[in-house]
Amino acid sequence: MAEVLEFNDMFYTNFEPQTKNHFIMEVDGIPSFMIKTSGTPSIQFDEIELDHINVTRKIKGKGKWQNFDITLYNPIVPNGAQAVMEWVRLSHESLTGRDGYAGMYKKDIDLYMIGPIGDKISQWKIKGAFILSAAFGDLDWSASDIVEISLTLAYDYAILEY
């Protein structure tokens, strides 16, 4: 005899979505609490077309990891702009014009997604990250907002650990 399923048994699924505000990013030299927003790794592949008589086939070409943006709060102490400029100075010293070696300015970043109770549920390892651009915020006498720092980061590749 066939088993009769109850309504709740048929349609109930244990579903807990990840939320955007449950993340921790660890960057050497920048305290995690300063990081307000972050993009996540993404990859795009080139397309190669192979012509043969009167048809075209396509195959995947090189993959390129896409740059992403992060936004930082800029507290007075520790100073967010100072933390960012220490990283920038590893790649370019404004006073002398001297550039640094990649081994000095490239950093590995850990990006964790956390569950509702604070458990780490996912981890991206972002390898060889460096600052492409840094904007130190806008100022406005009529505003009551806080100052934020915007960074665009480039990186070599990313690994989704779990």
pLDDT, one tens digit per residue, over 20-50 is 999 999 999 999 999 999 999 999 999 999 9
What is the overall mean pLDDT for the chain? 94
**C-beta atoms surrounding 40 within 10 Å:** 14
For residue 11, pLDDT over 90 is answered with no
Tokens of 112: 């964790």
**C-beta atoms surrounding 122 within 10 Å:** 16
For residue 112, pLDDT over 90 is answered with yes
Higher pLDDT, 1 or 90: 90
Closest listed residue to residue 150, CA positions, set 67, 35, 52, 40: 35
| Topology given in CATH for the domain delimited by 18-160 | Pnp Oxidase; Chain A (2.30.110)
CB 37 within 8 A of CB 70: yes
Predicted local confidence at residue 16, as pLDDT: 86
**C-beta atoms surrounding 84 within 10 Å:** 22
